[in-house]
Copies of this chain bind each other. A is one copy, B any other.
Amino acid sequence: MEFPSKLIGNAVEEFSRLPGIGKKTALRLTLHLLKLPVEDVQHFGLAITTLREKIQYCKTCFNISDDEICSICANKSRKQDLVCIVESMRDVLAIENTQNYNGVYHVLGGVISPLEGIGPEKLKIDALFERIKTTEINEIIMALSPTMEGDTTVFYITKKLNESPNDIKITTLARGVAFGGELQYVDEVTLSRALVMRRPYESSI
């Protein structure tokens, strides 16, 4: 598609570089911007550029942060001795949205994946052990995805933790049948594990 206006052509080009946005959607977004007041569009442009220019990684947990220390690590009302290990910032968001967690995080930036050439040295695992040395940690929650790579990473970290002298409790997320789903669609591994790991019935949940 060719555009009689270079300005429009540029904007469409830039929009269509974003994932999941084709030329037609890009044009729709561009024409939408033209209808907005100038200040709104300037605001939009500014939000995007400042985001990329000013964002940094928290020096403690390696989560994406506005400052040197992220708002979660800086929040003294959160339990600093309860650390949840996650793969990425998206997992932090997912857990934060439950509004049910009051500890801090440690963002690995990925999981061990020999196939993709990601070894432990490419993740923030050394930094985790540095953190354990310098701060008192009571419990570490392994909240990685239940995949081959996630399990390998959990195994690697747990093994290394057990090698060094410490009395940190290691826990993982509970596994079982998800809420709201229908039993007939649960995969057999999850279902058989859920049967074996069955728990006393609690009427409160």
Residues of A in contact with B (beta carbons under 8 Å apart): 1-8, 10-11, 13-14, 17-21, 25, 27-34, 36, 38, 41-55, 63-66, 70-72, 89-90, 92-93, 96-97
Contact = CB atoms under 8 A, between A and B. Distances in A.
Which secondary structure characterizes the binding site on chain A?
helix
Contacts of A36: 52
A51 to B, nearest CB: 4
B55 A5 contact: yes
Given A14-B44, A25-B20, A63 B4 contact: yes
Q: Would you list the 8 A-B pairs with minimal beta carbon distance, nearest first?
A: A41-B52, A45-B49, A45-B45, A11-B51, A14-B47, A10-B47, A14-B44, A45-B48
A196 to B, nearest CB: 35
